[in-house]
Amino acid sequence: MIEVRNLTKRYGATIAVNNISFNAEAGEVLGLLGPNGAGKTTTMRILTCYMPADDGTATVAGFDIHQQSVEVRKRIGYLPESAPLYNDMGVVDYLNFVGEVRNIPSTVRSARVKDMIDTCGLERVIRKDIGELSRGYRQRVGLAQALIHDPDILILDEPTAGLDPNQIVEIRGLIKKLGAEKTVILSTHILPEVEATCDRILIINQGRIVADGTSELLRKQASGEELLHVKIEDGEPNTIFKSLQGLPATQQVSFVDDHKDKFELQCNSGSNAAREVFQLCVKQNWTITEMIPLKPVWRTSSES
């Protein structure tokens, strides 16, 4: 759904985004995690065609951000950190206005506004002006404007910044719900935020991607564990399971996605788990049809 290749953005002598590449798949919630000034917002602004890149490119829903920026914008819903709201407008009037700007036909616009009110939980404030709303409801209105044209992709910059704990839980739940249907990219500098919301995490520092993986994978890697996925046939699953657990290199074994022939091994760092698995299968006359070491992409800040 989104493909980023060697994207770079400079502000004078400062390189805000430094030759980054990544993909985001349909139905994936991807989190950009990093400190303030890491390059998260700049990356999002480039993907939404709010600003151009200096080098590299990206495609969004198959359209190039440089050559087909209008088509890209049609397919993106964008919520910047400061939501583009007009305080003197009522909630319903504002959503109607955004629908008109988005060229939603008048015959279906009212229905889309109603859908957004239901989806984003705005029923209690539809008779209020935006300036009267709490921070949490303002974020909900911001999400509604990003969703009203039913985009394939949502890009959300610090969507829970400044919210109280109850509001954070509500917005996280809404993002998870939306992620079941759309590709969502969100940025944050808060680790629990991405762990609670995202399927996958990109850690960005000084304009570079320094890690890429699921929260579980990153946590295990940080603790010194190595992961190995193996698919073994021609043996009884529970027997294979117990034999893998008995290997010196193995800390823990689990089945992968309820497949009785696929196993995830959490192994001691620096161990030769792959060799031990291979030797076990040779001894037991089992067939290895798959062996994949799972490691997040870790890069040093000096890499290009």
Check pLDDT > 70 for residue 12: yes
Which of the two residues, 227 and 24, has the higher pLDDT score? 24
Dihedral Cα 214, 291, 301, 221, nearest 10 deg: 50
Confidence bin at 219 (pLDDT 50/70/90): low
Report how far residue 302's alpha carbon sits from residue 299's, in angstroms, rounded to the nearest whole number. Answer: 8
pLDDT at 95: 97
The whole-number average pLDDT for the span 37-56 is 94
pLDDT at 157: 93
Check pLDDT > 60 for residue 31: yes
Min mean pLDDT across 18-27, 36-45, 159-168 is at 159-168
pTM attached to this predicted model: 0.72
Check pLDDT > 50 for residue 304: no
Check pLDDT > 50 for residue 301: no
- pLDDT tens, position by position, 176-187: 888 888 999 999
- pLDDT tens, position by position, 241-256: 999 989 998 888 888 8
pLDDT at 299: 45
Check pLDDT > 90 for residue 210: no
Report how far residue 131's alpha carbon sits from residue 91's, in angstroms, rounded to the nearest whole number. Answer: 10
How distant, in Å, are the alpha carbons of 80, 85, 91, 94, 164 from that of 88?
Answer: 20, 9, 10, 9, 24
Report how far residue 266's alpha carbon sits from residue 273's, in angstroms, rounded to the nearest whole number. Answer: 9
Check pLDDT > 50 for residue 28: yes
The whole-number average pLDDT for the span 164-191 is 86
pLDDT at 297: 45
Domains, the chain, in order of start with CATH, read 2-214 (3.40.50.300), 219-294 (3.30.70.100)
